Chains A and B, each alone.
Chain A
Amino acid sequence: EVQVVQSGAEVKKPGESLKISCTASGYIFANYWIAWVRQRPGRGLEWMGIIYPGDSDTRYSPSFQGQVTISADDSISTAYLQWSSLKASDTAMYYCATPYDYGIHAFDIWGLGTLVTVSS
């Protein structure tokens, strides 16, 4: 079964660092793009960026460039989203998703999400 499994919920303080993960199974991780999508409480979906694990080609939304880092470790089929200094406004659900059947275009495989809460 093709799936992506995300790491658990996190509660952090402003200024702290964080790295959340998304582990793929059931397919060749290196050969498929994987993206991160933010959803703030009660809000819509925001595409943050995408990585191709095979060559680490990474593309960011300008809204998130410099705010987060997307990376991947092909050896353990895992993608990461990390922050060096969290803000309260980073409080959100973060989804990883892969366009498994759709090249780079439509996301048909989604994780359950990682809830990140940033509060002093």
Chain B
Amino acid sequence: DIQMTQSPPSLSASVGDRVTITCRASQQINKYLNWYQQKPGKAPRLLISAASSLHGGIPSRFSGSGSGTDFTLTITRLQPEDFAIYFCQQSYTSPWTFGQGTKVDLK
């Protein structure tokens, strides 16, 4: 299986901050990398597909980049509703695998 490693596991930030989360794959996955947001008690929500394509309805303050093994999710100007857990997921080869998550909480 391809292992997905996110960093940091958690971070504290303030409203208005710029936040960066990284995801590293244990082998190259081209651009088959997706990002999800999950809030407590809710199902995950797709933010970004194919490393950098913003899903419909997702605010433009979310962006993704990367290819191969190293990827980044960036949130510019963090909003109160962005405090959540973020997961990356590779879809290059079965089984699809997720990172362990990055919790973004209020400083």
Contacts and interface: CB of A to CB of B under 8 A. Distances in A.
Interface stretch (A8-16, A77-85, A110-118): A110-118
Contacts of A108: 46, 49, 55
Contacts, number: 66
Interface of chain B: mostly helix, strand, loop or mixed: loop
A101 to B, nearest CB: 8
A62 B1 contact: yes
B1 to A, nearest CB: 7
A106 to B, nearest CB: 4
Contacts of A97: 43-44
Given A44-B99, A105-B49, A105-B91, 17 more contacts: A44-B87, A44-B98, A44-B100, A44-B101, A45-B44, A45-B87, A45-B98, A50-B96, A60-B95, A62-B1, A101-B56, A102-B49, A106-B91, A107-B89, A108-B55, A110-B43, A110-B45
